[in-house]
Amino acid sequence: MEELDRQIAQLLSQDGRLSYTDLGKATGLSTSAVHQRVRRLEERGVIRGYRAVIDHEAAGIPMTALISVTPFDPSAPDDIPDRLRHLTAVESCFSVAGDENYVLKVRVANPGELEVLLGDIRAAASATTRTTVVLSTPWEDRSPLADQQQ
C-alpha cells in the first residue's frame, strides 16, 4: 500500500468522521484527490466500513471476558462460530492455534450474566470453556497502521 493511502487509512481508523477536506490538510492532497483515494481504498476492501465507538460502561455492559472454547468431540464438524452467532454478548470470535479452537471476546453487565452466557456457550457449542475476566483495558482497538514513533 502506498504511504499516502496508509496515512489516510490510519487517520480514518482514528476518526472515521474526518472530512475529505481535513484528510487533505493532513496529507497535503486536494479534497478531490483524497476523495478518489478513499473511494479506491473502499473498493479494494482496505476500508470495510465506518462505525461508532461505544462506551461499554455507559451502555451498561462494562464487564469484558475472553473465553477459550474447545469442543467435546474434536472429530465433530467445526461449526462453533455458526452455533454461537446468535449470542449477542459475543463481540468477536477468533479461530486460534493452541489447545483451544476459538477465543471469544464477550461483554456483559455483571458476573451473573457471564455465568449464564458461559452455560449458553457450552450448550450451543457442545464444548468446554476457560474464561479470563478483563480487569482493565489500558488500550484497545489500536490501528496497526498507526505510526509507532508518535
**Is residue 146's pLDDT more than 80?**
no
Residue-wise pLDDT for 95-104, tens only, equals 999 999 999 9
Identify the sign of the CA torsion 140, 143, 149, 150.
negative
If you average pLDDT over residues 2-22, what whole number do you get? 93
User: What pLDDT does 53 receive?
Assistant: 87
User: What pLDDT does 148 receive?
Assistant: 46
User: What pLDDT does 49 receive?
Assistant: 93
If you average pLDDT over residues 67-87, what whole number do you get? 95
Average pLDDT, the chain: 93
Q: Quick one: which of 9, 112, 93, 106 has its CA closest to 56?
A: 106
Global confidence as pTM: 0.82
